[in-house]
Amino acid sequence: FLFKENVNLDLLDTDPPPPPPSFFFFFFFKSIYVSVGPLGVGPVQVSCPKCHQTVLSKVDYTSGLLTYLFCGGLFFCGFVFGCCLIPFCVDRLKDAKHSCPTCKTVLGVYKRL
């Protein structure tokens, strides 16, 4: 590099400024799950902690670990031509996600495994 005579070389020896704080990640990935009691496969009557109403929970079934294990087990047993996908159609093999029908708050998830 070519420096002019009036360049202050002390500025080159200083440490770089610290990085900005990384607290903003908490706002993007914030999810709160509230435990309301024992949850099962079917709907249960619970008191919602957000809207404070006693409701019958709405249940949505999602594929969980047990679903994928059954799919892999059927695949290795020779059920290759689409039959290994049967566990994704059976609600008894899926996890149950309970939510409040009034305010849509997730009350909890019943996991099979």
pLDDT, tens digit (0-9, with 9 covering 90-100), for 73-96: 988 888 777 888 999 999 999 999
Residue 109 has pLDDT above 80, yes or no: yes
Cα(42)–Cα(38) distance, rounded to whole angstroms? 11
The pairing of beta strand 106-110 with beta strand 95-99? antiparallel
pTM equals 0.64
pLDDT at site 26: 43
Q: How many CA atoms lie within 13 A of 3 on its CB side?
A: 6
Q: Each residue of 6-54: pLDDT tens digit?
A: 555 555 556 666 665 554 444 444 444 455 567 888 999 989 989 999 9
